[in-house]
Amino acid sequence: MASKMQLYDPFVKNTTDTMAMMAGIKAEVLSAFGSETHEFESLGITSVIHYTGKIRGRFLLDMEPGLALAATQNITGILFNNVRDSMVLATISEMNNIISGGAISALNNVYQLGLWLSPPYVFTGHSCLIALPKMQSASVDCMTQYGRLKINVAFERGE
C-alpha cells in the first residue's frame, strides 16, 4: 500500500497542471503537506469531490474569490465580477472534476485502488467554516497572482 504522501502528490500535480493549462494561471506551492484540524475556514469558494474504492476519501479545492473570477474569465473568455454567478461556480466545480479525474486515474494506474469519483459540489458564502468529522486531512497552500489556493486531501480505509 502506498504512503499517504504518495497518494496526495497526484492531486497537487494535477491542480497546478490544470490551473496552468486550463486557466493559464501559475500556482506556486508554498509548503509541504501539513495536517489539518477537523475544521477550517473557506478562502471564498470551495469545491469538494469524494472518491471510493479500496480506500475512500475526499479532495477539496478552496480559493480566494479573485482567483475564482480570474480562472473563470480565462477559461470562458467572459468577464465576471461575482463568485455567486452560476457560471463561476460551475467552472470551479468542473476544474475540480478534471483535477480529481486525473489524480484518481494516476492512483488507479499505479496502485490499482479501483477508485470512483462522486459528482463534485461547490459552495460559497460568508464566513464559511468547513468541518469533516471522522476524517484526517492534509493541506498544501499555493499562491497565484490572483490570490491564494488551498489543496486539501483526505483518505481513509474503505469497506
Partner 1 sequence: MEAKHLTPFIDAAAKVLQQYTQKEVQRGSITVKNNMNVDLDITSVVSFSGGIRGNVSYSLSVDTAARLLSYVNPNCLMKPFGTAARGLWARLVEEFLQKAAQLLLENGILIIPSVPTIVTGRQMIFVISSVQTIAVRIETLYGPVEVNIGLEE
Q: Which is nearer to partner 1, 29 or 130 (CB)?
A: 130
Torsion of CA 68, 75, 9, 43, to 10 degrees: 0
| Three cell numbers, residue 151 | 489543496
Shortest gap between Cβ of 95 and partner 1 (angstroms)? Answer: 13
**Residue 13 interacting with partner 1 (CB under 8 A):** no
Asked if 117 and 97 touch (Cβ cutoff 8 Å), the reply is yes
Q: Tell me the C-alpha distance between 157 and 57, whole Å.
A: 8
Among 44, 58, 139, 140, the residue binding partner 1 under the rule CB under 8 A is 58
Q: Which is nearer to partner 1, 16 or 68 (CB)?
A: 68
The mark string for 83-112 relative to partner 1 (x by CB under 8 A, - otherwise) is -x-x--xx--x-------------------
- In the range 114-133, which residues lie near partner 1 by CB under 8 A? 116-119, 121-133
Q: Tell me the C-alpha distance between 40 and 159, whole Å.
A: 27
Q: Which is nearer to partner 1, 12 or 48 (CB)?
A: 48
Contacts of residue 88, defined as CB under 8 A and 6 or more positions apart, other chains included, come to: 45, 68, 69, 72, 80, 82
- In the range 15-44, which residues lie near partner 1 by CB under 8 A? 39, 42
**Residue 135 interacting with partner 1 (CB under 8 A):** yes
Q: Which is nearer to partner 1, 16 or 56 (CB)?
A: 56
- Write the CA distances from 96 to 12, 54, 77, 81, integer angstroms: 12, 22, 19, 21
Residues paired with residue 157 on neighbouring β-strands, in sequence order: 55
Q: How many residues does the chain have?
A: 159
**Residue 81 interacting with partner 1 (CB under 8 A):** no
Binding residues for partner 1 (CB under 8 A) = 39, 42, 46, 48-50, 52, 56, 58, 84, 86, 89-90, 93, 116-119, 121-135, 156, 159
